[in-house]
Amino acid sequence: ICFTIQNTYSDSCSKSDDKCTAHTENRYSKEVNNWSAEINKKISLALDQYIPCKRANCSCHADVIHKDLLPFKDGITKEQFAQARAKATKYQVIDGTLYREADCHFPARCAGVEHYLAELSPQLPNLELAINTRDWPQLNSAWGHPKAPVFSFSKTKDYYDIMYPAWSFWEGGPAISLYPTGIGRWDKHRKSISKAADKCPWAEKEVIAFFRGSRTSEERDALVLLSRSNPDLVDAQYTKNQAWKSDKDTLHAAPAAEVSFEDHCRYKYLFNYRGVAASFRLKHLFLCRSLVFHVGDDWLEFYYPSLKPWVHYVPVSPDASQQQIKRLVQFFKDNDALGKEIAERGFQHVWDNLTDKDVKCYWRRLLKKYSKLLKYEVVKDDKLRKVKDMI
Ligand code: UDP
């Protein structure tokens, strides 16, 4: 069900406030006007510069493959692969069949990856790859780590890791009580969330900024605290995760009940934050046709660079104060049509360019390009087992 509530929030001083003189009110509104003009300018500029990507053949994400493989443009040696392999799970494709070492640290995550690799293997040349299923990437150039081809689902630009579509597109995502077997099946979520969005069009959404999730990063605190002082503007609360021990882990408040992706569609403004690395949350938020506020631009998944700030989402600095966040939300309350347009473009982009077919296509293009960089002949490793036999 989608409710509309009258929101009474106002950023100006109240008449009963003695400190609220005409002078400060004028100065304040001038500042806000200048700031609003800046935001308008940023949106116009972003739209002027925006060239929609070509939809065919997962081309919207092709640059990411190019960039991630650039450090390896002179080829990948056997020694480099050995360094990568030490950080990850070893896979091989030999004569169209997928093999893996017996041990996988996170079996459900490996299964999520293997869903795509097994289907693709008959089309691939012989190759071997090292897939990291941990939450964080492995080889940081800024920390002096060696350059080696570890595949990871998320990284910042400082890492050599090569991004692959996260296991959770199919299975193995974090298990929360709403999704006890783990978040997955993006193909199904696309349908169910967009159906929920149809039931809850823009004009009927609650005019409130919303976030539900655990405290995997302190960057989330500002919004949660703002929610406590301005509950009519923001509803942001921490939920429990597996590491939860006491209310301290939910910023000294009782943990909130979890909210399904579909129920996020009731709210007009949806916030996304990094967690340990990029959060799986982001892609789901767009499907609500709500306005996405994406905080921080360091942590990426493969499809993030195709999304453009101010075109598809509202970028927010991870250092933004509660006051700055409040102002930004207020701006979009005051400029409703602008927010609706950004929300629509964000939805359409994810709907058109992040299908299960795009995920498969990305894997295929990535692995074909990667296989050409291997400078040595890949010889079947007898310690590996057929993935088919391990299921
Ligand atoms: N999640 C959810 N509803 C909730 C809390 C979490 O759907 O009420 C999802 C969330 O979108 C994310 C996953 O569960 O995809 C884990 O969220 P959390 O905030 O615990 O960690 P994150 O992965 O974002 O760092």
Structural domains in the chain, CATH included, are: 59-175+357-390 (no CATH), 185-354 (3.40.50.2000)
SS3 76: strand
Q: Estimate the crossing angle of helix 186-199 against helix 336-353, to 10 degrees.
A: 150
pLDDT at 16: 47
Closest to 69 in 3D by CA, of 273, 368, 281: 368
Residues 375/75, Cβ–Cβ less than 8 Å:
yes
Q: How many CA atoms lie within 13 A of 128 on its CB side?
A: 23
Count of CB atoms situated within 10 Å of the CB of 12: 12
Residues 114/98, Cβ–Cβ less than 8 Å:
yes
What span, in angstroms and rounded, lies between the C-alpha atoms of 205 and 355?
A: 26
What span, in angstroms and rounded, lies between the C-alpha atoms of 295 and 143?
A: 25
356 is catalytic: no
H or E element at residue 314 = strand 314-316
- Rg, C-alpha atoms of the chain: 23
Does 295 sit in the ligand 1 pocket, CB within 6 Å? no
Q: Where are the alpha helices (DSSP H) in the chain?
A: 22-49, 62-69, 78-85, 107-120, 186-199, 221-229, 281-286, 322-334, 336-353, 356-373, 387-390
Query: What is the CA(109)–ligand 1 centre distance, in A?
Result: 16
Quick one: residue 40, left, alpha or beta (phi over 0 = left, psi -120 to 50 = alpha)?
alpha
Query: What is the CA(216)–ligand 1 centre distance, in A?
Result: 9
Q: Report DSSP state, residue 106.
A: S
What span, in angstroms and rounded, lies between the C-alpha atoms of 89 and 214?
A: 28
Residues 12/28, Cβ–Cβ less than 8 Å:
yes
What span, in angstroms and rounded, lies between the C-alpha atoms of 350 and 52?
A: 12
Closest to 3 in 3D by CA, of 236, 244, 207: 207
Q: What is the pLDDT along the chain (391 residues), one digit of tens a residue?
A: 675 444 333 344 444 444 545 565 676 688 888 999 999 999 999 999 999 999 889 999 999 999 999 999 999 999 999 999 999 999 999 999 999 999 998 999 999 999 999 999 999 999 999 999 999 999 999 999 999 999 999 999 999 999 999 999 999 999 999 999 999 999 999 999 999 999 999 999 999 999 999 999 999 999 999 999 999 999 999 999 999 999 999 999 999 999 999 999 999 999 999 999 999 999 999 999 999 999 999 999 999 999 999 999 999 999 999 999 999 999 999 999 999 999 999 999 999 999 999 999 999 999 999 999 999 999 999 999 999 988 7
**Main-chain phi, psi angles of 155, to 5 degrees:** -165, 175
User: Token digits for 288?
Assistant: 């609500």
What is the strand order of the sheet 267-272 is part of? 234-238, 206-213, 267-272, 291-295, 314-316
Does 279 sit in the ligand 1 pocket, CB within 6 Å? yes
pLDDT at 30: 86
pLDDT at 15: 42
Question: Which one from 11, 135, 158, 381 is the annotated catalytic residue?
Answer: 135
Does ipTM exceed 0.90?
yes
Q: Where are the alpha helices (DSSP H) in 102-204?
A: 107-120, 186-199
User: Token digits for 55?
Assistant: 């939809």
Does 258 sit in the ligand 1 pocket, CB within 6 Å? yes
What span, in angstroms and rounded, lies between the C-alpha atoms of 127 and 370?
A: 9
What span, in angstroms and rounded, lies between the C-alpha atoms of 372 and 133?
A: 24
Quick one: residue 309, left, alpha or beta (phi over 0 = left, psi -120 to 50 = alpha)?
beta
What span, in angstroms and rounded, lies between the C-alpha atoms of 368 and 10?
A: 55
pLDDT at 389: 87
**How many helices (H) and strands (E) are present in the chain, helices listed first?**
11, 11
pLDDT at 13: 40
What span, in angstroms and rounded, lies between the C-alpha atoms of 258 and 106?
A: 24
Residue nearest atom 10 of ligand 1, based on CA coordinates: 281
Query: What is the CA(176)–ligand 1 centre distance, in A?
Result: 8
**Amino acid letter, 188:** K
What span, in angstroms and rounded, lies between the C-alpha atoms of 221 and 244?
A: 16
**Amino acid letter, 15:** K
Query: What is the CA(234)–ligand 1 centre distance, in A?
Result: 18
pLDDT at 192: 97
pLDDT at 3: 56
